[in-house]
Structure 1
């Protein structure tokens, strides 16, 4: 499969690219900074330079043409302000959905965040609140595209760089907790292989169920 990954130099994306390349898929990492191309190549992916905040849907469509699926793993990242939460976490996700639709790519995996439907807690830091609202808006937009997009929304808990355990808790609603980025990447691979997860919003934290079994269970 040819899988296009927005945010191709991110910590989850690089792990995902390695997993896909290891099983002879063709991962394509969309990156803004050409200096990151070597890291993407080292992960086994094809780097494609495009700035999701400063491109057109036509230009992005050209980059996803011929893909079997797209994964939105981009984010404005720590240190960015509220404005970039909107332009990356919300607007770029919508743009990727538009481009995928124009390119005829139905499968879309959205990497979101746990609990965003609840909105930011009262008194939250304004930048954090903007991030939550951006993620919620992007998810809401994707959920309205069921006629054109075979989407799955994955909402991990607090991300860590710990080694993955290969075991998780995956369900429409879970208690908040941590999850290793390595395990998030492995779950994305399993979701790509399980059509029964299409149309589902799934929360993810570390747990005791092997990833393949956890994905089969939510697809049953």
Structure 2
């Protein structure tokens, strides 16, 4: 399988690239900063340098040639303002969808966020509210695209070691945490489960082994 990860230097993206490359998949991580190329290559993946905030769909599509799936793992990150929540968390996700359509890549995994279904509560930090609105808008755009999409909404992310056991279910799900390790492992399992296309899934720490959690959604072994 050839997988292109947009936002390839993110913590989940690097973990996912390590898992996929380790099992023999061909992985490309798209990064904005040339200084991040070595980190991506250390996972066993190749790196492509492209700024998702200024690239055209055609420029990104050139990096998707021959891909079986794309994963949107980009984010404006801590310290960014409300404007970049829109240009990265929403617009770059749409850019990847447009590029995938141009390149003929149907499978699209979107890493979103829990808590996006409700409007931000009054008094919510402006930047956090912008982030939630951007993620929701990205989800809506991807659902409207002619792609085999799956939306994954992890809970609060931690750097604890992964357990291999999760709660993976359609919303609503109580808010809780999940490790970045387990989030990456779930993404890898979803790439192997085309029957999860069209699903929006909440992800939390839980008791079910990841392969079983995915099988329960599709009725087939990933």
TM-score (norm 1): 0.98
Question: Which moves more between the two structures, 116-125 or 160-169?
Answer: 116-125
Counterpart of 1:164? 162
Counterpart of 1:21? 21
**Structure 2 CA distance, aligned partners of 1:115 and 1:127?**
15
User: Could you list the runs of 4 or more consecutive aligned residues of structure 1 that deviate by over 2 angstroms after TM superposition?
Assistant: none
Matches within 5 A, 1:50-129: 50-129=50-129
Structure 1, residues 48-106: CA drift from partner, whole Å, max 9, x if none?
00000011111011011210000000000000000000000000000000000010000
Which secondary structure does the structure 1 equivalent of 2:85 belong to?
helix
**Structure 2 CA distance, aligned partners of 1:170 and 1:121?**
26
Residue number among 147, 150, 153 corresponding to 2:148 in the alignment = 150
**Structure 1 CA distance, aligned partners of 2:119 and 2:190?**
26
Which secondary structure does the structure 2 equivalent of 1:99 belong to?
helix
Counterpart of 2:195? 196
Matches within 5 A, 1:30-49: 30-49=30-49
CA RMSD of the aligned region, Å? 0.7
**Structure 1 CA distance, aligned partners of 2:126 and 2:81?**
9
**Structure 1 CA distance, aligned partners of 2:168 and 2:115?**
13
Structure 1, residues 126-172: CA drift from partner, whole Å, max 9, x if none?
00000000000000001112xx2000000000001110000000000
**Structure 2 CA distance, aligned partners of 1:128 and 1:71?**
23
Question: How many residues are matched?
Answer: 218
Q: Is the 8 A contact 1:120 1:132 kept in 2?
A: yes
Q: Is the 8 A contact 1:155 1:203 kept in 2?
A: yes
**Structure 2 CA distance, aligned partners of 1:121 and 1:88?**
23
**Structure 2 CA distance, aligned partners of 1:187 and 1:121?**
30
Q: Is the 8 A contact 1:73 1:111 kept in 2?
A: yes
2:133 maps to 1:133: yes
TM-score (norm 2): 0.97
Q: Is the 8 A contact 1:119 1:136 kept in 2?
A: no
